[in-house]
Chains A and B, each alone.
Chain A
């Protein structure tokens, strides 16, 4: 949420960290604060972005869980 105010809105595809880019959260907020109709492409796009974000975090968490399981020490 913090990035809404700090990050930009330019939808650029670049690997240069100095270029103005945007983030998923900013796009969701921008899409949803305006239009509220439920089956418009914009709202659905916001939900799709949310789903992508969710899946990415899920994959990261699964990897983390595997790593933890592998190295966990069992006491008692």
Chain B
């Protein structure tokens, strides 16, 4: 051991003391901070379809007011609802976005956990698109064929009124006019509102065309729902997570595959993907707005009235989102692909939001 080693020992001791003090101090701060921190930013969760619109409003809100920019996480409509309905308090999100209306069971759950006053705001419409790479052939399909291609159980192809597991492997098997390509569809998982809406509008729309299945609705509602909303699980429908952008990228890599996603993503990626015609209608802005494109659904967000005043800025954020400059016909959200509601609906929902009127199921 020489003088350098003594020096090293000394430095080492000093260093360890400093680190120990720093560690103690920061852990004290952290604990105190975590215990006392009143959350001063709005926390939003929910649908990945509403995410592009909510983020733009949030950013504008942060820039034009003194409030902190809201934090928005894309968890899917189902996941967002579960987080939202878990309770009232700082640990729970203030607002949840949803690409479908809140279900009665979710509403019950909210009420049971103390989330009693929920403000429902419809923000606009969005179409659901069956898209593929725009260098591939554009598909024109009816809802009936879509149901036959994607449902878990389909009416027996030999006729008769029974449901069999889906045997069709190529689009041509479903309908000879469709291309002879293997069925491969990338779509959202069951927690996604897009998936719920797709099942309800496209699949159910198709399965209703079979009269005997439609009759089942009155006879046995659960069997009807199981028949019309179940998606096949044999690998032809691939669940691709909440991230619509990932689906778009995978379509570019795989020109034979199709994807199910919201119209806003088609709009923002129109140089890479194209939408299929469903029941003869093309997925275009005007067609979705006037209802001729059959697979379109409203987008919502839900806010907790109990958090207004506790977390700063919620009321102002609601006002910003329901402002004509945001969701109106010329608003900045239409640039991002949102289909605005008709004037009367906007007036109604806007008034409810500004007055913080709680919803009734």
- CA of A36 to CA of B82, assembled, Å: 8
Q: A12, A30, A35: which contacts B75 (Cβ < 8 A)?
A: A35
B82-A35 in contact (CB<8A): yes
- CA of A15 to CA of B75, assembled, Å: 33
Within 8 A of A (CB), among B190-246: 191-192, 235, 238-243
Which residues of A sit under 8 angstroms from B86, Cβ to Cβ?
A: 37
Most B-side CB within 10 Å, residue of A33, A35, A42: A35
A34-B83 in contact (CB<8A): no
A11-B192 in contact (CB<8A): no
Which residues of A sit under 8 angstroms from B235, Cβ to Cβ?
A: 10-12
- CA of A11 to CA of B232, assembled, Å: 13
A10-B242 in contact (CB<8A): no
Q: Does A58 interact with chain B (Cβ within 8 Å)?
A: no
Contact with B along A1-39 (1 / 0, CB 8 A): 000000011111000000000000000001001111100
Which residues of A sit under 8 angstroms from B189, Cβ to Cβ?
A: 30, 34
Q: Does A40 interact with chain B (Cβ within 8 Å)?
A: yes
A9-B191 in contact (CB<8A): no
| Range class of the B interface residue count | 20 to 34
- CA of A42 to CA of B239, assembled, Å: 13
Query: Beyond A9-B186, A10-B235, A12-B235, is A34–B82 a contact (Cβ under 8 Å)?
Result: no
Q: Does B312 interact with chain A (Cβ within 8 Å)?
A: no
Query: Beyond A34-B192, A35-B191, is A9–B75 a contact (Cβ under 8 Å)?
Result: no
Q: How many residues of A contact B (CB 8 A)?
A: 13
Q: Does B340 interact with chain A (Cβ within 8 Å)?
A: no
Q: A11, A12, A33, A40: which contacts B242 (Cβ < 8 A)?
A: A33
B48 and chain A: residue at smallest CB distance: A34
A34-B238 in contact (CB<8A): no
Which residues of B sit under 8 angstroms from A40, Cβ to Cβ?
A: 82
Which residues of B sit under 8 angstroms from A33, Cβ to Cβ?
A: 74-75, 241-243
- CA of A42 to CA of B235, assembled, Å: 18
Q: Does B76 interact with chain A (Cβ within 8 Å)?
A: yes
Contact with A along B24-45 (1 / 0, CB 8 A): 0000000000000000000000
Q: Does B328 interact with chain A (Cβ within 8 Å)?
A: no
Query: Beyond A9-B186, A11-B235, A42-B191, is A37–B79 a contact (Cβ under 8 Å)?
Result: yes
Query: Beyond A34-B191, A35-B191, is A10–B238 a contact (Cβ under 8 Å)?
Result: yes
A22 and chain B: residue at smallest CB distance: B238
Which residues of B sit under 8 angstroms from A11, Cβ to Cβ?
A: 235, 238
- CA of A40 to CA of B79, assembled, Å: 10
CB distance from A4 to the nearest CB of B (A): 9
Q: A10, A30, A37: which contacts B82 (Cβ < 8 A)?
A: A37
- CA of A35 to CA of B235, assembled, Å: 22
A11 and chain B: residue at smallest CB distance: B235
A9-B238 in contact (CB<8A): yes
B241-A35 in contact (CB<8A): no
13 A-B pairs in the complex with CB atoms less than 8 angstroms apart = A9-B186, A9-B240, A9-B250, A12-B235, A30-B189, A33-B242, A33-B243, A34-B241, A34-B242, A35-B76, A35-B191, A37-B83, A42-B191
Interface residues of A (CB under 8 A from B): 8-12, 30, 33-37, 40, 42
Interface residues of B (CB under 8 A from A): 74-76, 78-79, 82-83, 86, 186, 189, 191-192, 235, 238-243, 250
Q: A33-B243, A35-B76, A37-B79 are in contact. List 10 more A-B contacts (CB 8 A).
A: A9-B186, A9-B240, A11-B238, A34-B191, A34-B242, A35-B79, A36-B83, A37-B82, A37-B83, A42-B191
